[in-house]
Amino acid sequence: MLTIASDFGTPYPAAMKGVIHQRTDARTVDVGHDFPRQDVRSTAFWLREVLPYFPPAVHLVVVDPGVGTDRNAIVLRAGDHALVGPDNGVLLPVARRLAGGEDGIEAFVVDETRLEPPEPTGAGSATATACSVSAEDGPASNTFHGRDVFAPAAADVHAVGIDRLGSLAFLESGEAAVDCDLPGATLEGDRATGEVLVVDDFGNAITNVVGDFLEDRERVVVNGESVPVGETFAAVPVGKRLATVGSHGYVELDVNQGRGDEAFGLSVGDRVVLEAGE
Residue closer to a copy of itself by CB (options 8, 108) is: 8
From residue 38 to residue 77, the character string flagging contacts with a copy of itself as x (rule: CB under 8 A) and all else as - is: x-------xxxxxxxxxx---------xxxxx--------
From residue 206 to residue 235, the character string flagging contacts with a copy of itself as x (rule: CB under 8 A) and all else as - is: ----xxx-xx---------------xxxxx
Query: How many whole angstroms separate alpha carbon 189 and alpha carbon 194?
Result: 14
Which of 41, 77, 147, 158 is close enough to bind a copy of itself by CB under 8 A? 147
15 binds a copy of itself (CB under 8 A): yes
161 binds a copy of itself (CB under 8 A): no
Residue closer to a copy of itself by CB (options 139, 224) is: 139
From residue 82 to residue 111, the character string flagging contacts with a copy of itself as x (rule: CB under 8 A) and all else as - is: --------------xxxxx-----------
**Strands (E) located in the chain:** 2-6, 28-32, 58-62, 73-78, 81-86, 105-110, 171-173, 186-188, 191-199, 205-210, 219-222, 225-228, 241-245, 250-255, 271-275
128 binds a copy of itself (CB under 8 A): yes
CB 182 within 8 A of CB 207: no
169 binds a copy of itself (CB under 8 A): no
Query: How many whole angstroms separate alpha carbon 192 and alpha carbon 204?
Result: 19
3 binds a copy of itself (CB under 8 A): yes
194 binds a copy of itself (CB under 8 A): no
186 binds a copy of itself (CB under 8 A): no
State phi, psi for 188 to the nearest 5 degrees.
-130, 100
CB 96 within 8 A of CB 102: yes
183 binds a copy of itself (CB under 8 A): no
Query: How many whole angstroms separate alpha carbon 148 and alpha carbon 171?
Result: 16
Query: How many whole angstroms separate alpha carbon 260 and alpha carbon 278?
Result: 20
Which of 247, 262, 267, 277 is close enough to bind a copy of itself by CB under 8 A? 247
Residue closer to a copy of itself by CB (options 165, 255) is: 255
Residue closer to a copy of itself by CB (options 124, 189) is: 124
Residue 153 CB, nearest distance to a copy of itself (Å)? 15
174 binds a copy of itself (CB under 8 A): no
C-alpha 46, offset from chain centre:
5
With the C-alpha atoms ordered 138, 140, 145, 148, is the resulting torsion angle positive or negative? negative
Residue 216 CB, nearest distance to a copy of itself (Å)? 9
CA distances from 96 to 49, 63, 70 (A): 12, 18, 24
CA distances from 236 to 94, 196, 217, 264, 274 (A): 33, 22, 15, 15, 19
130 binds a copy of itself (CB under 8 A): yes
